[in-house]
Structure 1
Amino acid sequence: MLFLLFVYGLVVSPVAYPNADSLSSVTLQQALIGDAAQSCVSLPTLRSTSLQTALIQLYQNNDYKTLWEGAQQRAALKTELEQLVDDGLSPEDYGFALQARPPVKQCDELRISSQYLLALEHLSRGRLAQADHEPYWQANALPPPSAPLLSELALTGLRKGIAASFEQARPALPQYRALRAAYAAMDRQPASRAPLPPGPVLRPGMSDERIEQLAAQLQQDGFLLESPAAYVSVSNYNGALVEAVRLYQAQHGLQVDGIIGPLTLTALNISPAQRVQQVRINLERLRWVNAQRSDYLLLINVASARLQLMRGNDTLWRARAQVGRSSRPTPLLVSYINRITLNPGWTVPPTILREDILPKIRRNPDYLGVHNLRTLDTQGKPLDPRHIDWNNPRGIILRQPPGPTNPLGEIVFRLPNPFSIYLHDTPSKHLFQQTNRSVSSGCVRVENANELAAQLFAGLSFLEHEHIAQQRASKQTHEIALTNGPRVILAYWTAFANSEGQLAFVADSYGLDQALVSAMAIMPAPKPAAKAPIAVPAEAGCAVYDRAPS
């Protein structure tokens, strides 16, 4: 009968708020059945569930007794809310609960509980709705992510204490925990400083009037142990100062050469206050990732061009990647690896044919032969390239058979998506040595791709491994279905903590940081129209020749 009353209360119009000045179990139950989320003013809206449902679940499991009359319980909640500042969240967003006194009315009680739920949602899933800012495209039929439901998090607080509910809500993703620790150690109210003036490219051994200011800045940021006073009367750029710049470059995703060119100067002139905001938004991005993760996960950071295979919070394998350049960005998505192609051939996508290959063919008629490209009609029949008007080709396909120069390398990892992208091997292995690896046409090129394949094939039987080895040796194309392949998240974050726990940064190559800084600086507004996901056109494909044309 009580269940029927709950259901009835959820579907009928809200009733008048009963006995608003009392705090009994009976009146709390009546208020929740009567939709207190609408009867009480200033209650927040939750994204992951309805506030009404969450409140009913919370109080039903507490026999409709009050949660916040005890000073110890309120103090525990205040402590946890205050610690959210180290997560890049604003405790003031939960100000009523933060300053709560013993509730004297039902709405006071429910307002504290509502902000408790809101804080758990923000901590576990992000303060902002990802779909409104940096949406992931998501494949169909994905199993639910491993993140606990909001109701489970809130009930943990009843059973194990408020601190336990926040600890469970806080992402356990190692990247998040490391970045949070680094953020907690930052000076989050740094003094302002003048930017380094523009000037000529500064190379070791050169003289420059900016030397003293450069030394002072690097010493302030912890990269130079010497006192800046040592450079007051010395205008040469050398010695410990060059080494400090190299260290700075290494931790900021720059070419480590000690040369202060435009990119290094731009990075040096990102103020400490801007770096604080950069770390804060990347904690938010990692909350989004954590909310989408599964136990078996291939996590790819497009911004840093790195990937790692994870089981739970343990890293099984990691490598560098090559990702889409800014004009053909790699889309952000959640999918899964469902098949692997051995010895792949490559059909040149229309955009790459039009923008990359045709200009090279026009400059060099031997380009097709040099790169082993075959000309076919739309039915797959061979065409004589000498009889094609390359200034206005029509109805042709260029295809490269499997082989060592094939842009897809020896293996391709397929995942459902509408962007025609995938992960693959590459013959352009020298590009993995570059600091900036945003060089592809959208796909993800994987360093040591055979090692990733070995990880994904690890559960197969001896006979299955033998069969795969034979298929690879055949040099013919073969498709292998992969059951229980890892979830793939193509995400984007530009700040992280390195293996020593130090803050490190990479360039915001897709230009996404500033919009998110602005969004995090204000309270979430009513939901705007969702932005289109970062994407390449479906026809664009991925692999593009990066070797110099002959």
Structure 2
Amino acid sequence: MKKLYFLLLLSLLIGCKKDTPKPAPVKKTPPPAIILTDERTVQIDTALINTFKSETLKQFYNSSENKTVWGNLKKRTYVLSQLKKSEELGLNPEDYKATTLEKFEKKISSLNDKDLATYDILLTYNFELYLTHLYKGKLNPKKLYTDWDLDEKVFDENSILIKAFNKNKLDSIVENIQPKSEAYKELLKALEIINTFPDDEIGLIEAKDKIVLNDTNTALVNIKQRLLFWNDMSGRKDSLTKIYDKKTFEAVKKFQERHGLAADGVIGAGTLSALNFSKQKRKEQIIANLERWRWYTTDLAENYFIVNIPDYSLNVIENQDTTLVRNVVVGTSKRKTPIITSTLKTVVFNPTWTVPPTILKEDVVPAMKKNRNYLAKKNITIYDSANREVDPQAWNENKPHSYRYVQSPGYNNSLGLMKILFPNHHSVYLHDTNHRGNFVRSNRSLSSGCVRVENPLELAQHILNDTLTDNWTKKKIDSIIETKKTINVKITKKYALYQWYWTAWSKKNQLIFRADIYNLDSDLYTKLRN
């Protein structure tokens, strides 16, 4: 009987397993049929289509029964003009064979059937490539960087193109597929503005010491030329002197403000570095930023936190309105803040801090080897694998990774008095800090990867006050902090988190730049043009 019962049970289990529905594979919706007009059409040899090794191209011409589709002059003209003007959007016309296609167009009336088919395929292939690059970028960030967690954007180029083609609405397709955010539009405006500047031939500016008001320095002639070039100062080039006068001082402050520098009028290393950027280098920076914006999601959440890493800023956006702005500290070039799209989940008051592996290896272990009281002074307790407290004198310096190192809650905790958690693969979060004086610095690339936020308790109060069951007053939060007990509070209002990276934009027709703290711009531009 026992054997019979076992066999029956086994057959039921097998039966349940067989009945479990498997997830259906995701299939692309076949593109609609292409409506052909009465212009000249020719049949295309499928072998010619196959030379492009593109399934998308095959599907496109399946929709026209492998006949040419670009017989209409108006449609061809639109495609050709868009590819030629792709430079205005930061792309390279020759990536889309603009010159080759123009040559075909000039002799279209004399093309034989095979050449007409070739021209037709090239038009389709390159226009769809152009649309794809506009929608999600030319390059894949996941193949470039290990710390960029962005979902790849899906783009059904055939359906979008064919629908616009059939409805004679090709003239709106390019604008419709680009990012809709104001920041992206400001970047396009920045590219338009910088193209109005003449080519510059100003030499490298060098100065050993800081230059302050009323100083005399030969470098000031070129500095003034740069300020005139960028319209931060008005005047004549033939009247430039070596004296740092009041007019130049005010122009330098304006320049510094546009570049996110301390607007104190002192010409130091940071200001000189920004002054030494040529028009071409700034243009390349804008183009690199346009590519990055195409990687980002096009559908921003209704409410979100957006951290611009090189700008050291956090903005809270609610219903398209900026409700809070905070200075932040971000990761150094060795311990970069990752690019993340996530959702805020929890506010933790009075957090503990567990020393992460990188800081343990590079900071804690060397310090402990010199002084066994190093961790005790920082209120950090050592625990072994059985969660027992370890005396610092008994700590085995040859097996530092066999312990946990936990800092108790408090004002001097490395995470400060609060942290905000969100799902990510990098173990990073937003948090307070015990180095609160760093927020007044202009260069705030100082952390180990997490984002430190200025006045974080006010931020916590703002986002928790949407809770229906509780009123999160300052008094209530202060009373929690006084307990020094760790408390987790779920964030009920849905906020997305975007930690992104952009170093150029425009504002009120002025070019705005930030230091490329992770040295990404130049390399990205080079890859875009190769």
Instruction: State TM-score, norm by structure 2.
Output: 0.78
2:41 matched to 1:23?
Answer: yes
Q: Which has the higher helix share?
A: 2
2:442 matched to 1:440?
Answer: no
Partner of 2:80: 78
Partner of 2:384: 377
Alignment deviations for residues 230-260 of structure 1 (CA, whole Å, 9 cap, x no partner): 433xx32231112212222222233333222
- Flag the 1:272–1:356 CA change in 2: closer, same or farther, 3 A: same
2:188 matched to 1:180?
Answer: yes
SS of match in other structure, 1:116: helix
> Equivalents in 2 of 1:381, 1:391: separation in Å?
19
What pairs up with 1:15-414 in 2 under 5 angstroms? 23=41, 27=43, 34=46, 37-38=49-50, 41=51, 43=52, 50-53=56-59, 56=62, 59=63, 67-94=69-96, 95=98, 96=100, 101=105, 105-134=116-145, 137-138=148-149, 149-151=156-158, 153-155=160-162, 157-158=164-165, 159=167, 161-187=169-195, 190-232=199-241, 235-290=242-297, 297-310=304-317, 315=322, 317-357=324-364, 368=375, 371-385=378-392, 396-414=403-421
> Equivalents in 2 of 1:420, 1:200: separation in Å?
42
> Equivalents in 1 of 2:254, 2:309: separation in Å?
23
Partner of 2:5: none
TM-aligned CA deviation for residue 181 of structure 1: 0.6
- Flag the 1:359–1:201 CA change in 2: closer, same or farther, 3 A: same
> Equivalents in 2 of 1:206, 1:255: separation in Å?
19
The one-letter code matched in structure 2 to 1:51 is L
TM-aligned CA deviation for residue 170 of structure 1: 1.6
Partner of 2:10: none
TM-aligned CA deviation for residue 454 of structure 1: 4.9
Task: State the identity %.
Answer: 27
> Equivalents in 2 of 1:124, 1:100: separation in Å?
27
CA RMSD, Structure 1 to Structure 2 (Å):
3.8
Q: Tell me the number of residue pairs that the alignment of Structure 1 and Structure 2 aligns.
A: 480
- Flag the 1:35–1:288 CA change in 2: closer, same or farther, 3 A: farther
Alignment deviations for residues 112-167 of structure 1 (CA, whole Å, 9 cap, x no partner): 1222211111111112233333455438xx7x86x764345424523361221111
TM-aligned CA deviation for residue 317 of structure 1: 4.3
SS of match in other structure, 1:181: helix
The one-letter code matched in structure 2 to 1:379 is A
CA contact (8 A) 1:202 1:261 kept: yes
- Flag the 1:476–1:107 CA change in 2: closer, same or farther, 3 A: same
TM-aligned CA deviation for residue 414 of structure 1: 2.1
Partner of 1:494: 503
CA contact (8 A) 1:425 1:445 kept: yes
| Unaligned stretches of 5+ residues in structure 1 | 1-6, 11-20, 523-550
CA contact (8 A) 2:350 2:410 kept: yes
Instruction: State TM-score, norm by structure 1.
Output: 0.75
SS of match in other structure, 2:337: coil
CA contact (8 A) 1:192 1:273 kept: no
The one-letter code matched in structure 2 to 1:251 is R
CA contact (8 A) 2:381 2:406 kept: yes
- Flag the 1:484–1:125 CA change in 2: closer, same or farther, 3 A: farther
Moved more, 293-302 or 486-495: 293-302
Partner of 1:416: 423
> Equivalents in 2 of 1:318, 1:514: separation in Å?
29
